[in-house]
Structure 1
Amino acid sequence: MGEGEKQVTERPKRRGGGAVRGRLRRWRTKAASGSDTVWNPPTSAEQPEGRDVGTLFSEELAYGRSFLFAPFVMALGSAWWFFRPAAPFSWGLWLYWAIAVGAAVSLRNAGPVNRLGAGLVALFLSGAFLAQLETGRLATVMLDSPVTTHVTGVVDAREPTENGWRYVVRVIATDDPVIHRPPERVTLVARGKSPPVDIGGAFTGLARLSPPSGPALPGLVDFGFLSYFDGIGAVGFFYGAPDAVPGDLHTRETSRPQSIGLFMRHRVESLRDTIAGRIRAVLPDESGAFANAIITGQRRAMNDDTLDALRNAGLAHVIAISGLHMALAAGIFFSSLRLFLSFSPKAAEAIATKKLAAMAAIGAAGFYLAISGMQVSAQRAFIMLAIMLLAAVADRPAISMRNVALAGFVILAVSPSEAVGPGMQMSFAATLALIAGYSFWQRREYARPASMPAGTVIRIVMLGAFGIVLTALIGGLSTAPIAMAHFQRIAGYGLLGNLLAMPIVTFLVMPSGLLAMLAMPLNLHGPFLLAMGWGLDRVIAIAEWVDGLGGALDTSAMPRGFLLLFLVGFMLLVLLRTRLRLVGLVPMAIAFALPAFSQGDRSPLLLVSEDGALVAIVTGDTAALSKRRPPSFIFDQWQSALAISATRPPSETESNAAILKDADRFDRLDAGQITNASTALAEDIKAARTQSGMFICEKSEWCVASLPGSGLTVAQIFRPALVGPACDHADIIVSVYRPGFQACRSPGFLITPALRRQTGTLQFTVQDTDGSKSRNGNTTSSEPNPTGSCVRTHVSVTPAITAVKRQWNQHRLYNWRSDSYADPVSLPKTLDFFSGSGGSGRQACPEP
């Protein structure tokens, strides 16, 4: 410290909020006026003990910590708006928002409590209002039901897959049949090795289109929600390769005036496609697909086994373009350009090389953002990086929590729907945890040991190794609970995987990739891509080895409130600087205690998929299935969410079904056929009661089973004409196809395609004979009838879709025949079933 300088580090033992703010104001005034008094904030060790909560709270406000919480409160408002069964306040929300903002402005000079309360309400409603604006602005048209039709469209983007191409198509027309309410943009997969359609090119082809699927279970990822906010109204595949449209139509559609946004999108996608093609030309194998995932964000060409190995080894963040990639790319570019400019003494004297390099690095990072697919993690990283580099240009401090907060404001203003997705949550959680963790470490005295001379090789190596360990540890711990909530899985050996792979990614893969991009215009990128591919092969080998250790853990679905409690506690812990931050440990501890209380009892579950093709009875960690080979897309999610480790395939036979072998599935049956089929069905249901928890299936006709503990029977019917007889013998009937009626005349509960269309996957929770609580927290009971000969069983019903009137689900109510929206079905929350000790299980209990 130079002569004449004075460092102020002491604080009064007890002062109110006004005194703290006044002191901060005086220090800032002195600093601005050139005074020789310089203030350094005290470290945690220097903060005096014994200060009350009010003083600590005032100090947090004086440090401007309330600003850091503002994006989080806005995100909570957005999430609240999205999760409501119906749009809250409808279009009157803008009025409440205006009142709240006006109140916050009028109370800006009031006391800290009033000012803070008004600000929280205004921010919360701002998040909800932004969510409403985004939903209305997009207005994505969603396909209402599956259809096979001829699609004519223009390719907006394309991406290679393992066995073909995936196109994002702007639909021009549909034919045979004509879709009355066609989506504007769809994704279509073309399998095979046919030449791909160019970006901006028009084509036609026979395609199978389906609405984006809903959650596989209540509380899991809603792909319809994601597709709505991605602007995708349907998904599907081509039957065969698409054909080029006639010349006149192609000329008319491709020469139609385009908006600036669409023109720029096509330009960027064409550039991405060109870069991806050059990478594949040099690296045609798995390492080439990996390199494309890092550089261009195109990851669908990667093998599923490789993706699983990376996830299980804790290296999934390597393929998600985020702060690591953006910082390495811009940092290497910044350092290299500044070093190059320093070679010329005249240039170094004439211009500010640091500022010039910083501005150039912003341009390089923006280019990387454009070609990487504009993922939310990349957007957050670019915004933060641009703020940091601009701060360097303005000679201001670069890295701070405020940069993260500003990035959050920008993303929430443009795409508030990202607040409920894992991308934004994990990206911001890791960034905040790393900044807070390193800041806390640097404030410790032992973070600057004096025993080792500065600049020694040993010290540099040790600090580098320690930095990798600390970064992997902090990043893994901060994002693991979010991964548990969204993906029901954590990587047990993620720290080991990062320790082994990240040095290769940092010092070989990313520098080689940047050099390849710089050399690509000169066609000199080959050697750099080969070096990058060699490094990525090592990363894949490490991921496979770590995955082989068996460290991937399925955590099962987290209970409601887990993620919210964790995030609230986490934000308090990382954003506050006084001892008040320890309050955040309380909600975090409660969050981690919730699974132990909610999963104490594992009552049997009956699951019915949205399309009705798969029915499962889950008892403990074992699932009895109605299909020997269940669809992986659905069943994999069931396995992770319910921690299923074993399966029981159905017992299949064709003996009874032989009576209907000559009849088409949708034909009407005569009285004799129905009688014979009904008798055979009743025999299978009787046999299922003796093999509780296992399906007995007649090929192409039905599958039946009995639920353990309750004696309730379920029948999955593949022939519409047999739904009526099934209603006479089973308690829960799943009709795979439309039966012509929506309810059974008998006490059975019928699940039709029309019902599943509105509810999505259905989960039935039955109770054990002791009347304990179900695994999902709904209370069920078995109440003996007063006569002593009958048992009443309550079964809770939980649909995967509860907000069918929201814009991203409203297509489920649309009727294309009448061009109108139907009223939502009234699904009961509980069902009552009656069974006697010696009867068939379907008779009603006699009155007492």
Structure 2
Amino acid sequence: MRGSGAGTSEIDGAESRRAVPARFRAAFRKRQPKGEREADFYQRDAGRAGRFDIAALWREEQAFGRPFLMVPVALAAGIGWWFSLAESPSSLGLGIYGGLAVFAAVLLRNGRGLLPVASACIALFLCGALLAELETARRATVMLDSAVTTHITGVVESREPTETGWRYLVQVTATDDPVIHRPPERVTLVARGNLPPVGIGHAIQGLGRLLPPSAPVMPGLVDFGFLSYFDGIGAVGFFYGPPADIGVAPAPGLNARAGFAIERIRDGIAGRTRAVLAGDTGAFANAIITGERRALSDDMLDALRNAGLAHIIAISGLHMALAAGIFFSSLRLLLALSPRAAEAVSTKKIAAAAAIAAALFYLLISGMQVSAERAFIMLAVMLAAAIFDRPAISLRNVALAALVILIVTPAEVVGPGMQMSFAATLALIAGYGAWQRRPAEGFRQSRGPLRWLWIAASGIVLTALIGGLSTTPFAIHHFSRIAGYGLLGNLLAMPVVTFIVMPAGLLSLIAMPLNLHAPFLFVMGWGLDWVMRAATWVDGLGGAFTTGRAPEGFLLLFLAGFLPLVLLRTRLRLLGVIPMAVSVALISWPREPSPSQILVADDGNLVAFVTGDVAALTTKRPPSFVFEQWETALALAETLPPVEESALVLDEEDRFARLEAADMASAARALRDTITEAGRTPGIFHCKKDAWCYGLFMELRLMTVDRPAFAGLACDNADIVVSRYRPGFQICRSGAYLVTPAMRRQHGAFQFTLPPTASRTRDDGDIRRSVAEPDRGEAIVQQASNANPLRVGKADAAAPPSTPSQSPCGPMTLSISTSVRALTRPWNRHRLYDWRSGEYLPVIAVPETLTFSGNGGSGRPACPAP
């Protein structure tokens, strides 16, 4: 074996002839018994390692410096733990325990056994938690508390074209009519239309709608509020009409002026690219060069994702490595053409330093995206290693890059970008190391063109295979989808991207100051057209499929096996096979069908009955942002639209006005008709426009109301009531469970999960069967009453645990989960703020369970008399 260091020393007498780095031999000498020869000592350790002696194997890992690779892993574990807590731990207590752990680790650093390792891991774990807390305090992003329409004045920091207009990043300077008492500092606003955009660094003004960043659309999905907090974005929204450009803003500070200058360069490059390449081709080119990818059409984005090529449009390690690698190789080749220069200076070091500068320029014009920053740090560490005559590509350099990122931006640990990037890098380094240790045979022994063809083909296949396999578990966990033909898509597209698209793009940037960029952009566009055609063809094969939400603990198990497998060098790495095998079994083993559930979006505009892979919705046109995530997470195959009934005719047209007795009586008669129809076709919603939606689901009655005046009527005729607007009260006197806007504002989306047996009360629990039963449950309709014996609490102590599963007529206990749980954490605390009083409101309690009795009063069949 060969170590990662420059100097090595062969140990005489050892059977395996291990090459131990000289700088690590001291670790062995400390354990060498007095008077024993060094060769005998190493030979004895080698014999123990051959018997899978864990202590001997661990000493060899120490001799090669592998414990250093575990440092970022321990830090990342502490960071992830801190962000996962429901409440922030005491800063003082964390600091004290962290200091004690560091002190203990220093004292025990020369000890034997597991105690020094355990103390170092605990110290690093707590240091990671402290890093997370420090970054959270440093960000201190002011988040908008509730949606508001106001006149906005600010300064444009950056802009990006979209399919329908422009998207601005605005530093807010003032709001008016109304004045926001707690305004966010930076917001993103979309302006639709083809009017000339507001210039970067100019003041912008217009009437806009601001909304808080979205919470997870259902428990366990992506928290956009968390991401926005650490991106410094306090609100999102749009302008009503085109905003006004009111001239250049007053001269800001030096940092802001430098930022504006860089953004103007980016904008100029993007504009010249769009002038040469139109449509999706130009948008694709700008996604690679400047990081502007919102102009790509939705169809093309979907095709790239389904073909496993979405990584091309996100500036990351691939783009940074290709750009810097092409620049490095080209410059070194040019310098080598001069024998005098090649002899006088180290061309490799000059080229590496120039490549770092080129990568930095690429980072600046790419918009300083987090993925690009991460890629630049990794690349800069590797190129700096080449300058100082260290191995450029090694696990130690990857660990150094990870340490820098964890110290600067700890929140990246919980995001898919950093996880997938480092997983692919570690797997590629470990995979290529194993591949190179294979004995030479076949084409690898030839010396002609076939050898180079073999190297190129095997390199492309191996890179695509290792990269795809190593990132697939993260895609399953974060996105609930797999590109089944991703390997095929990468084989078709990546050679073109590597050898045509990226070189042509780099040459176009170099030629752009001389206005000679058009020919190179045409070549780049030809390559991108090939990539898009390949993505569309691969997408048409139908290989992309959704996996649904991964089982609990799936990703942690995978990481517990993956990290030892790629970070260790001895047979200790084989211990990682067990947890990896368990994680694969978890995701691939046939699982029991998920229990039926009821989903309520955080704005109350969408409610769904979900059984298996079928969902019944309250609208024919659900909001795509919410529903597409539901569809992917639940692996839905079919949706059932509501039955739309004739509109309710009322004398009062104002939605928020109180209704007269005649209108309420008319509404009550119409609701009785809706209940009758819903009883004949349970499992789907029956909706009256701007009034309500009503549905029977597993013997439960659910009603959504679009007028506050109908909230009381809904409480008297349903078990669960979802009010779109504030109803004027928080609890139904009838005992029905009321989900109000105030509750959804604090807790986000609601998920009611029924007991598993409730899903099987009708044959196989298929919603589609219930729709085809026209004479279903006339008795259920007659049992709808004005009272509902509903108990809310942690558990029903009087009933035995098996009661809900014994009979469909017995008590039914629903579990409740919400998408926002850590309300006191800084990225969620704005949900408790009341802009009217300027104070933080108390948390509205949400029970963990709801228990419905089965005596016939809740729309569920009465239990027979004993």
The two structures have a TM-score, normalised by structure 2, of 0.89
Q: Secondary structure at the match of 1:397?
A: coil
Q: Secondary structure at the match of 1:262?
A: helix
Provide the C-alpha distance between the structure 1 equivalents of 2:13 and 2:335, rounded to a whole number of angstroms: 44
Q: Map residues 502-517 of structure 1 onto 2, 5 A cutoff.
A: 502-517=494-509
Q: Which of 508, 528, 536 is equivalent to 1:536? A: 528
Q: Which of 707, 718, 722 is equivalent to 1:730? A: 718
Please tell me whether the aligned partners of residues 168 and 188 of structure 1 are also in contact (alpha carbons under 8 angstroms).
Answer: yes
Q: Which of 675, 680, 693 is equivalent to 2:665? A: 675
Provide the C-alpha distance between the structure 1 equivalents of 2:725 and 2:284, rounded to a whole number of angstroms: 42
What is the match of residue 491 of structure 2?
A: 499
What is the match of residue 437 of structure 1?
A: 431
Provide the C-alpha distance between the structure 1 equivalents of 2:449 and 2:96, rounded to a whole number of angstroms: 63
Provide the C-alpha distance between the structure 2 equivalents of 1:592 and 1:51, rounded to a whole number of angstroms: 26
Instruction: Give how far 1:351 is off.
Output: 2.2
Instruction: Give how far 1:191 is off.
Output: 0.5
What is the match of residue 845 of structure 2?
A: 826
Instruction: Give how far 1:817 is off.
Output: 1.0
Provide the C-alpha distance between the structure 1 equivalents of 2:840 and 2:522, rounded to a whole number of angstroms: 56
What is the match of residue 301 of structure 2?
A: 307
Provide the C-alpha distance between the structure 1 equivalents of 2:231 and 2:595, rounded to a whole number of angstroms: 38
Deviations 1:304-353 (A, max 9, x none): 11111111101111112222211211111111112222222332233222
Instruction: Give how far 1:23 is off.
Output: 7.1
Provide the C-alpha distance between the structure 2 equivalents of 1:661 and 1:783, rounded to a whole number of angstroms: 51
What is the match of residue 30 of structure 1?
A: none
Q: Map residues 239-318 of structure 1 onto 2, 5 A cutoff.
A: 239-245=240-246, 253-255=249-251, 257-258=252-253, 260-318=254-312
Provide the C-alpha distance between the structure 2 equivalents of 1:597 and 1:744, rounded to a whole number of angstroms: 44
Provide the C-alpha distance between the structure 1 equivalents of 2:321 and 2:365, rounded to a whole number of angstroms: 16
Q: Does 1:666 align with 2:684?
A: no
Q: Given the superposition, is the C-alpha separation of residues 13 and 432 from structure 1 closer, same or farther in structure 2, using an over 3 Å criterion?
A: closer
Q: Map residues 737-816 of structure 1 onto 2, 5 A cutoff.
A: 737-769=725-757, 791-816=810-835
Q: Which of 669, 681, 700 is equivalent to 1:691? A: 681
What is the match of residue 635 of structure 1?
A: 627
Q: Given the superposition, is the C-alpha separation of residues 78 and 703 from structure 1 closer, same or farther in structure 2, using an over 3 Å criterion?
A: same
Provide the C-alpha distance between the structure 2 equivalents of 1:626 and 1:205, rounded to a whole number of angstroms: 34
Deviations 1:635-684 (A, max 9, x none): 000000001010100000116x22x2643211101223223312322332
Q: Does 1:564 align with 2:564?
A: no
What is the match of residue 713 of structure 1?
A: 701
Q: Secondary structure at the match of 2:196?
A: coil
Instruction: Give how far 1:693 is off.
Output: 0.8
Q: Does 1:653 align with 2:645?
A: yes
Please tell me whether the aligned partners of residues 488 and 557 of structure 1 are also in contact (alpha carbons under 8 angstroms).
Answer: yes
What is the match of residue 227 of structure 1?
A: 228
Q: Does 1:484 align with 2:476?
A: yes
Q: Map residues 402-481 of structure 1 onto 2, 5 A cutoff.
A: 402-445=396-439, 448-449=440-441, 453-481=445-473
Q: Which of 344, 351, 374 is equivalent to 1:357? A: 351
Please tell me whether the aligned partners of residues 509 and 535 of structure 1 are also in contact (alpha carbons under 8 angstroms).
Answer: yes
Q: Map residues 595-634 of structure 1 onto 2, 5 A cutoff.
A: 595=587, 599-634=591-626
Instruction: Give how far 1:499 is off.
Output: 0.7
What is the match of residue 32 of structure 1?
A: none
Instruction: Give how far 1:437 is off.
Output: 0.3
Q: Gaps spanning 5+ residues in structure 1: where?
A: 28-36
What is the match of residue 594 of structure 1?
A: 586
Please tell me whether the aligned partners of residues 770 and 782 of structure 1 are also in contact (alpha carbons under 8 angstroms).
Answer: no
Provide the C-alpha distance between the structure 1 equivalents of 2:758 and 2:219, rounded to a whole number of angstroms: 26
Provide the C-alpha distance between the structure 2 equivalents of 1:515 and 1:242, rounded to a whole number of angstroms: 37
Worse-matched range after superposition: 579-588 or 639-648? 579-588
Q: Given the superposition, is the C-alpha separation of residues 788 and 145 from structure 1 closer, same or farther in structure 2, using an over 3 Å criterion?
A: closer
Letter in 1 for 2:697: L
What is the match of residue 76 of structure 1?
A: 77
Provide the C-alpha distance between the structure 2 equivalents of 1:58 and 1:434, rounded to a whole number of angstroms: 26
Deviations 1:153-188 (A, max 9, x none): 000111111111100000000001100100000000
Q: Does 1:11 align with 2:14?
A: yes
Q: Secondary structure at the match of 2:854?
A: strand
Deviations 1:78-107 (A, max 9, x none): 111111110122453222222222221222
Q: Given the superposition, is the C-alpha separation of residues 178 and 48 from structure 1 closer, same or farther in structure 2, using an over 3 Å criterion?
A: closer
Worse-matched range after superposition: 106-115 or 542-551? 106-115
Provide the C-alpha distance between the structure 1 equivalents of 2:290 and 2:177, rounded to a whole number of angstroms: 37
Provide the C-alpha distance between the structure 2 equivalents of 1:524 and 1:816, rounded to a whole number of angstroms: 55
Q: Secondary structure at the match of 1:77?
A: helix
Q: Map residues 354-393 of structure 1 onto 2, 5 A cutoff.
A: 354-393=348-387
Q: Secondary structure at the match of 2:50?
A: coil
Deviations 1:115-163 (A, max 9, x none): 1111111111111111101111110000000010000000011111111
Instruction: Give how far 1:6 is off.
Output: 9.0
Q: Secondary structure at the match of 1:387?
A: helix
What is the match of residue 201 of structure 1?
A: 202
Provide the C-alpha distance between the structure 1 equivalents of 2:469 and 2:422, rounded to a whole number of angstroms: 13
Q: Given the superposition, is the C-alpha separation of residues 645 and 846 from structure 1 closer, same or farther in structure 2, using an over 3 Å criterion?
A: closer
Provide the C-alpha distance between the structure 1 equivalents of 2:47 and 2:284, rounded to a whole number of angstroms: 49
Deviations 1:455-491 (A, max 9, x none): 3101100110010000000000000110000000010
Please tell me whether the aligned partners of residues 685 and 730 of structure 1 are also in contact (alpha carbons under 8 angstroms).
Answer: no
Please tell me whether the aligned partners of residues 746 and 844 of structure 2 are also in contact (alpha carbons under 8 angstroms).
Answer: yes
Instruction: Give how far 1:47 is off.
Output: 10
Please tell me whether the aligned partners of residues 75 and 412 of structure 1 are also in contact (alpha carbons under 8 angstroms).
Answer: yes
What is the match of residue 520 of structure 1?
A: 512
Q: Secondary structure at the match of 1:836?
A: coil
Provide the C-alpha distance between the structure 1 equivalents of 2:364 and 2:198, rounded to a whole number of angstroms: 22
Worse-matched range after superposition: 277-286 or 458-467? 277-286
Please tell me whether the aligned partners of residues 809 and 860 of structure 2 are also in contact (alpha carbons under 8 angstroms).
Answer: no
Worse-matched range after superposition: 380-389 or 221-230? 380-389
Deviations 1:717-772 (A, max 9, x none): 00100100110110000000111111101110000000000110100011244699
> Percent of pairs identical after alignment?
58
Please tell me whether the aligned partners of residues 617 and 707 of structure 1 are also in contact (alpha carbons under 8 angstroms).
Answer: yes
Q: Secondary structure at the match of 1:600?
A: coil
Worse-matched range after superposition: 622-631 or 453-462? 453-462
Q: Secondary structure at the match of 2:811?
A: strand
Instruction: Give how far 1:61 is off.
Output: 2.1
Deviations 1:198-244 (A, max 9, x none): 11100210000000010011010000000000000000000111112
Please tell me whether the aligned partners of residues 508 and 518 of structure 2 are also in contact (alpha carbons under 8 angstroms).
Answer: yes
Provide the C-alpha distance between the structure 1 equivalents of 2:29 and 2:56, rounded to a whole number of angstroms: 18
Q: Gaps spanning 5+ residues in structure 2: where?
A: 1-7, 31-37, 766-793
Deviations 1:518-571 (A, max 9, x none): 111111111001100000000000000000000001000112211111112111
Q: Given the superposition, is the C-alpha separation of residues 784 and 220 from structure 1 closer, same or farther in structure 2, using an over 3 Å criterion?
A: closer
Letter in 2 for 1:183: P
Q: Does 1:176 align with 2:177?
A: yes
Please tell me whether the aligned partners of residues 569 and 584 of structure 1 are also in contact (alpha carbons under 8 angstroms).
Answer: yes
RMSD of the TM alignment (CA)? 3.1
